[in-house]
Amino acid sequence: MTRPKRNFRFRYLDSRPVDRTSGIASDQVIRHFGFSSNQSYPERLWRIRYFDAEHRRWLVFLTNNFTLPALTIAQL
């Protein structure tokens, strides 16, 4: 799991339904966009956008672990 840089470019492939009351705003399957990015890691990634109510800020997480729930990834 990691957090993307500001200039991270991706292509949206699919999304899953989310419960917005949990803080999860989006749950998407993506792929790197760009020549060198796609060559270094050509696999799909999971992009989770989460609102941290305690610190009042948005967080975005990237992972290749598709087995855990999105809220668990965000809480880690």
Residue 43 is assigned to a structural domain of this protein: yes
Q: 2-48 pLDDT, tens per residue?
A: 888 888 888 899 999 988 889 999 999 998 877 666 667 788 999 99
Residue 29 is assigned to a structural domain of this protein: yes
Residue 1 is assigned to a structural domain of this protein: no
d(CA 61, CA 28): 10
Residue 2 is assigned to a structural domain of this protein: no
Residue 5 is assigned to a structural domain of this protein: no
pLDDT confidence of residue 58 = 95
Residue 74, judged by CB atoms within 10 A of its CB (0-12, 13-18, 19+), counts as buried
Residue 30 is assigned to a structural domain of this protein: yes
Number of domains within the chain = 1
Structural domain boundaries, residue 42: 10-75
